[in-house]
């Protein structure tokens, strides 16, 4: 299957991939987001059972072939989806509730270190991981966009990612 990402799949998979995309009503990029989500769930389960997995390296190598534009587009779409789900689950989705859910999800469920530091009306969110530059970008853009969707202000110049960590700053709109 030819695509702009430089990833080659066996031609025999073209029809099946197109069927799945059509069935789910997804673009190729959105399909990859679903695959990544499923992989993360599987990885978390394997880690909890103590199984050895090589999936982290495989997904990291796959992600480095996806363009920055596609990563940003998917991160924004994922943010909207997640916020919609959170609004369905929570009576009030404000800064405190969003922060609690993000921190809990990352630190407890994923086992990824995420911290929040407060200073002079700002909250700085930082996360360390081992998934590479594209994963940093996806996570950073997604979480920053989630705060923007609920009316918080993210300082655009504060969004940073370097391959092993990302951070962004939110101005508290109290």
The string of DSSP codes covering 79-92 is HHHHHHHHHHH-S-
- What is the C-alpha separation between 137 and 146, in angstroms, rounded? 14
pTM exceeds 0.75 for this model:
no
Q: Which of 52, 49, 73 is nearest to 134 (CA)?
A: 73
Helix axes 133-149, 95-104, angle to 10 degrees: 150
Residue 171 φ/ψ, nearest 5 degrees: -80, 130
Neighbours of 174 (CB within 10 A): 6
**Structural domains for the chain:** 11-171 (3.30.1380)
Is the sign of the CA dihedral 57, 62, 65, 68 positive or negative? negative
Answer whether 158's CB lies under 8 Å from 148's CB: no
Pairing of strands 165-171, 160-161: antiparallel
Nearest residue to 173 via CA among 126, 124, 123: 123
Q: Within 13 A of 85's CA, how many CA atoms are on the CB side?
A: 8
Give tens-digit pLDDT for 27-56.
Answer: 777 777 777 777 777 666 655 555 545 566
Task: Identify the CA nearest to 115 among candidates 130, 103, 104, 101.
Answer: 103
**Per-residue confidence at 148, pLDDT binned at 50, 70, 90?**
very high
How much is the pLDDT for 94? Answer: 92
pLDDT at 154: 93
Strand residues in the chain grouped as ranges (E): 114-119, 122-128, 153-154, 160-161, 165-171
Q: What pLDDT was estimated at residue 172?
A: 76
Q: Is the pLDDT of residue 149 over 90?
A: yes
Alpha-carbon gap, residue 147 to 80, rounded angstroms: 10
Q: pLDDT for 127-137, tens place per residue?
A: 877 777 888 88
């Amino acid at each position: 299957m030819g695509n702009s990402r430089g990833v080659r799949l066996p031609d025999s998979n073209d029809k099946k991939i197109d069927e799945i995309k059509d069935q789910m009503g997804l673009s190729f990029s959105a399909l990859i987001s679903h695959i990544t989500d499923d992989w993360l769930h599987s990885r978390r389960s394997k880690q909890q059972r103590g199984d050895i997995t090589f999936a982290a390296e495989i997904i990291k190598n796959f992600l480095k072939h996806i363009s920055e534009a596609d990563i940003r587009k998917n991160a924004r779409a994922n943010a909207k989806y997640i916020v919609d789900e959170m609004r369905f689950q929570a009576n009030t989705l404000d800064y405190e509730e969003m922060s609690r859910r993000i921190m809990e999800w990352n630190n407890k469920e994923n086992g990824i270190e995420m911290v929040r530091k407060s200073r002079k009306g700002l909250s700085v969110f930082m996360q360390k991981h081992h998934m590479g530059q594209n994963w940093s970008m996806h996570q950073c853009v997604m979480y920053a966009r989630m705060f923007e969707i609920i009316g918080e202000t993210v300082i655009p110049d504060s969004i940073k990612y370097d391959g092993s960590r990302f951070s962004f700053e939110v101005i508290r709109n109290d």
